[in-house]
Amino acid sequence: MKRIVRLTATILLVSASQAVCSDAARKSSAAESWLDSLSVDGYLSGGEVINFARPFNKINFGHLETDRANWPQFNQAILNVARPFDKNTSSLDFGFSFTGMLGTDARYTQFLGQTEYLIHDRTQLSIVEANLKAHLPILTEGGVDIQVGEFVSYNGFEKLTAKDNIFYTRSFSANFGPFVDTGVMSIVHATDWLDLYAGLVSGVDTTIGWPGDNNNSPSIHAGFGLNLLDGDLSILAVTHSGPEYANVKDPLMVGWPNGVVGGIPAGCACNPNNAWTSYNNLTTVWNATKNLSFVTDISYYRDSGSYPVSIFGSIFDAFNALPIGFGLNTSLVPQHPRGANAYGVAQYATYTVNDSVKLGARIEFWRDAKNFFAAAYPGYFDSVNSEHGFPAPSVIVQPQGQGTSYLAITAGVTFSQELTAIPYFSGLIIRPEFRWEAAVNDAAPFFGPNGPKRTQGLFSMDVIAPFTIQ
DSSP string, 97-163: EEEEEEEGGGGGSPPTTSSTTS--SSSEEEEEEEEEEEEE--SSSS-EEEEEEEEE---SS--SSGG
What is the predicted pLDDT for the residue at 328? 45
What is the predicted pLDDT for the residue at 270? 63
What is the predicted pLDDT for the residue at 338? 67
- Nearest Cα neighbor of 167 from 298, 307, 358 is 358
d(CA 425, CA 465): 7
Q: State how far Cα 375 lies from the chain centre.
A: 16
First and final C-alpha spacing in the chain: 60
Q: Which residues contact 242 (CB under 8 A, 6 or more apart)?
A: 201, 203, 217, 218, 219, 220, 276, 277
Count CB-CB contacts under 10 A for residue 67.
23
User: SS3 for 347?
Assistant: strand
What is the predicted pLDDT for the residue at 107? 97
d(CA 219, CA 322): 30
User: SS3 for 382?
Assistant: helix
Helix (H) or strand (E) run with residue 7 in it:
helix 2-36
What is the predicted pLDDT for the residue at 19? 47
What is the predicted pLDDT for the residue at 201? 97
Q: State how far Cα 344 lies from the chain centre.
A: 18
What is the predicted pLDDT for the residue at 69? 97
What is the predicted pLDDT for the residue at 166? 97
Looking at residue 448, the DSSP 8-state letter turns out to be -
- E strands along 244-383, which residues? 260-261, 264-265, 276-287, 292-303, 321-324, 331-334, 340-352, 357-368
- Nearest Cα neighbor of 425 from 48, 43, 38 is 43
Q: For each successive 10 residues of the chain (470 residues), what is the average pLDDT? A: 46 47 49 74 97 96 96 97 85 94 97 95 97 94 95 96 97 95 97 97 93 90 97 97 78 45 50 85 98 98 69 38 46 60 97 97 97 94 90 87 93 93 89 98 94 96 94
d(CA 395, CA 78): 27
pTM, two decimals, is 0.84
Helix (H) or strand (E) run with residue 455 in it:
strand 455-468
